[in-house]
Structure 1
C-alpha cells in the first residue's frame, strides 16, 4: 500500500488540511479503479464501507493478488468533516461559499483535451489513445491554480480519478435503500456491481444537469468520443457510478463488511484482483431512467407520518406519507403516481409546505432539465 498526502490550499491563517489517498497494485498491469467515500462528509456509511475495503485490500495485496490498481480515498472531504454548527454536522455544502461539494465539478472541455493530445492519437490503438487522453487530462488539471481550500479539494479529487478506468463515488442518502446512479453507457459494466451490492434501485441518466463527480468523467469521455469519430478508436468509455449506501444511520460493521466484499467480488470479476469470480445474484429491480423518478413534495406544513417503508415496491395510488396539522386536525395523504421503488426519503418528521420528501422510481421519463436536487 502506497500512502500519498495531498495538501490543500490554506484558506485562513493557522489552518491546514490534507487529502489522503491509498494506492494498491499497479495500473500498468491491468485496469485502474478509483474509489472515494463521503464527498458529502456527513454520509458516514460510505466512509465505513471504504475503511473496511481498505483493510481488505491490504490483505489482498499482501497475498500477491493485485492484478490491476485500486486508488482509494476513504475520507474525500476533510473540509466538510470540520463543519459543525451548534452540534449539527453540515457536510453537504461548503460553509464559506454555499457550494454543494458534489456539484459543478470543473473539467477541461473535450475540444481542449483533443487539441492537447494532437498528433499523439493512433489510428488503430484504442488503448494507446485512452492512455494519452488521460495523461493530457491530468496535465491540464495540473495547470489549474486553485484559489482556495474548496477549489484545491475538488482539483485533487479530479486529478486522482482522471487516471482511472473505473470511477466509483460512494455516498448515502438520508433514509434510503441501497441504490445506484450511473449512465446508460456505464450501466453494462456497472450492472454486476449493482447485483453484488443488492441494489434495490438503479437510476440512469447521461447528463443529470448537476455536473456531479462521477458524471463529469463519463460525460467528458463521451464528448471526446463523439468529436473523434470512428477514425480514431477509443476504448470503453470511462465507467463511472455513484453508489448510495442506504441512509445516514445505516452504520454498522456487518453492513459495511458486506458492501466492501461486494466491491472486492466486483474487482475480482473485472480481473483487478486475482480470484475466482462469483456468480452474481439477480438484479433486485430493473434499471429505470432518472427522469422517471417521481419527486414527492409536502403539500402543507405539519408532522410527517410515513406510511410506506423505505425500499418498498409501490403501485400508483399507494399512500406514501401523511401530513398532520395538529391545530386544524387536517390529515393530508400523499400518494405516488408511479409504479416503482420508494428508494429514498427525508429523515426529518416535521416539514414546511413544498419540502422535497422522497422519490419513487419509474419506468417512463416524466421530468426534464436538472434531474438532481441541491
Structure 2
C-alpha cells in the first residue's frame, strides 16, 4: 500500500497580488511512533540541498512502492519560497529577509520556558511518557501562537511540521567547503553515524550556538528542560542537525546522488526503511567544538589569493591567504597575510575573491575553544 502524501501549505500574502506556499511530501505510517523531518533551501541561495532532497524523494518513492517505508518521513524540498523570490543582479539572494534583514535561519521560537511552565508538576519517572508530554505541550503552544507576517508564519509553519520528529535534518551548503555538520554537543554520540555516513570532514558541536537556528529550535529545548528538571528523566529526544553539503557550486549529479543515497542509508540503518544498510564508511573526522572554529577574517581590503586548500590540515600561525591591494605599491601590490589561530582542518572558505575588513575568508575546525568567541558562534 502506497503511503505517499503531498500537502500544500500556503503563506499569508506579504504584498498586494502575491501568494506563496511550501510543499511537504510524507511517507510511511504516522502511527509508527517514529518520525523524521528533512528540509532543504531554508537559505534559498544554497543549491545542493534542493537536488539532494529531490533525489532522496525518488529513492523514497521507490521504497514506498515496495512497501518498505516503516516510519513517518516528511521531506520539504524547498523550505523558503520567500527567499527564492529574492532575485538581484541575476542571482538569488535568499539568506536574509528583505523586510528586516534577519537571517532566515535565525530567531526561531524558543519555547523552553513556556514548556517548562506547562509541564511543571506533570512529569513522571518514565522517559517516554515525559517525551510525549513535552511534545503535546509544544504542539499546544505552537497552535496558540499567531505569527505576524509572511516570514514569521513560515518559521512557525516549519517548526510546526518538525517539532515532534525524532530526527530533523536541515540541508544547507557553504561557499567552498567539505561536507560538515552542526549539532548539539549532547547529540554527538547518538549522531556520530550521520556524520560518518555522509563522509563529513568536520562536525561542529555546541549546546547553544546563538540566535536560535532551526535545528536548535527543535533540539535545544530537550537538554535545557533536562537541566531544569533533574529529578525527572528527559532524554534528548530530537537528533537535529544542520548538514552543509559542500559548497554552493557543488551540484554535480554524482555528488548529489551519493549524498541522497547516504541519507537513505542513514534512515535505513535507523529503522525508517526496510532492508539492511551497508557497513558505515570510514570515519573521517572526530567532532570539535563550535567555539573552537577559527573564522579567519580579513583585516583590510584587497584581492584574495588562497595559500591553503579546503581539506588541508593547518597549524596555528600558518598563512591561509594573502590579500593584495592593487592601488598600494602598484608596481607589485601591497600584500597582507592572513594566518590561523589554531590547529585544525580548513573546512570552508569564501567563494568570491574580494576582501573587506571583517569579511570571513576561511573556517578552521580547531579542537580547543578560542577566547573571545561571545554568544553568537555562527557567522551571519
TM-score by structure 1 length?
0.95
Q: Secondary structure at the match of 2:345?
A: strand
**Alignment length (residue pairs):** 371
Tell me, yes or no, if the aligned pair for 1:175 and 1:344 is still in contact at 8 Å. yes
- Note if contact 2:131-2:237 (Cα within 8 Å) is conserved in structure 1: no
2:310 paired residue number? 310
SS of match in other structure, 2:227:
helix
Deviations 1:1-34 (A, max 9, x none): 1111111111111111011111111232142111
Q: Which of 87, 92, 97 is equivalent to 2:95?
A: 92
- Between the aligned partners of 1:133 and 1:23, the Cα distance in structure 2 is 23
SS at 1:97's partner residue? coil
Cα deviation digits, residues 122-174 of structure 1 (max 9, x gap): x2432222123212212211111121111110010010011201111110011
Query: Is 1:5–2:8 an aligned residue pair?
Result: yes
Deviations 1:37-64 (A, max 9, x none): 1100011101110111111111111111
Alpha-carbon distance in structure 1 between the residues aligned to 2:23 and 2:65: 21
2:141 paired with 1:150: no
- Please state if 1:369 is matched with 2:375: yes
Of 324, 333, 342 in structure 1, the residue corresponding to residue 346 of structure 2 is 342
How far apart in 1 are the matches of 2:84 and 2:264? 27
Q: Is the 8 A contact 1:9 1:147 kept in 2?
A: no
Partner of 1:62: 65
Deviations 1:225-283 (A, max 9, x none): 222323x3334432111000010000122111111111111111111111113221232
Supply the distance in 2 between the matched residues of 1:317 and 1:227 (Cα, whole angstroms): 42
Alignment of 1:310-329 (within 5 A): 310-327=310-327, 328=329, 329=333
Greater shift, 259-268 or 128-137, is seen at 128-137
Counting only pairs closer than 5 Å after superposition, residues 183-202 of structure 1 correspond to structure 2 as 183-202=184-203
- Asked if structure 2 preserves the Cα contact closer than 8 Å seen for 1:318 and 1:336, the reply is yes
Match of 1:104 in 2: 107
- Aligned partner of 2:273 in structure 1 is 273
Displacement after TM superposition at 1:319 (Å)? 2.0
Q: Does 1:80 align with 2:83?
A: yes
Q: Which residue of 2 aligns with 1:331?
A: 335
- Superposed CA deviations along residues 162-208 of structure 1, whole A, max 9, x for unmatched, are 12011111100111111011111111121111011110011111101
Cα drift, residue 318 of structure 1: 2.4
Q: Which residue of 1 aligns with 2:27?
A: 24
The normalised TM-score by structure 2 is 0.94
For the aligned residues, what is the CA RMSD? Answer: 1.5
- Residue 46 of structure 1 is matched in structure 2 by 49
1:361 counterpart SS class = strand
- What is aligned with 2:213? 212
Separation in 1 of the partners of 2:65 and 2:92? Answer: 37
CA contact (8 A) 1:8 1:152 kept: yes
Which residue of structure 2 aligns with residue 116 of structure 1? 118
Asked if 1:351 is matched to 2:355, the reply is yes
Q: Secondary structure at the match of 1:189?
A: helix
On the 8 A contact 1:30/1:272 being kept in 2, the answer is: no
Within 1, Cα distance between the matches of 2:299 and 2:190? 40
User: 1:297 is matched with which residue?
Assistant: 297
Give me the whole-angstrom Cα distance separating, in 2, the residues matched to 1:51 and 1:189: 26
- 5+ residue gaps, structure 1: none
Aligned ranges 1:121-136 → 2 under 5 Å: 121=123, 123-136=124-137
Contact 1:186 1:237 in 2 (8 A): no
Looking at structure 1, the residues matched to 299 and 227 of structure 2 have their Cα atoms a distance apart, in angstroms, of: 44
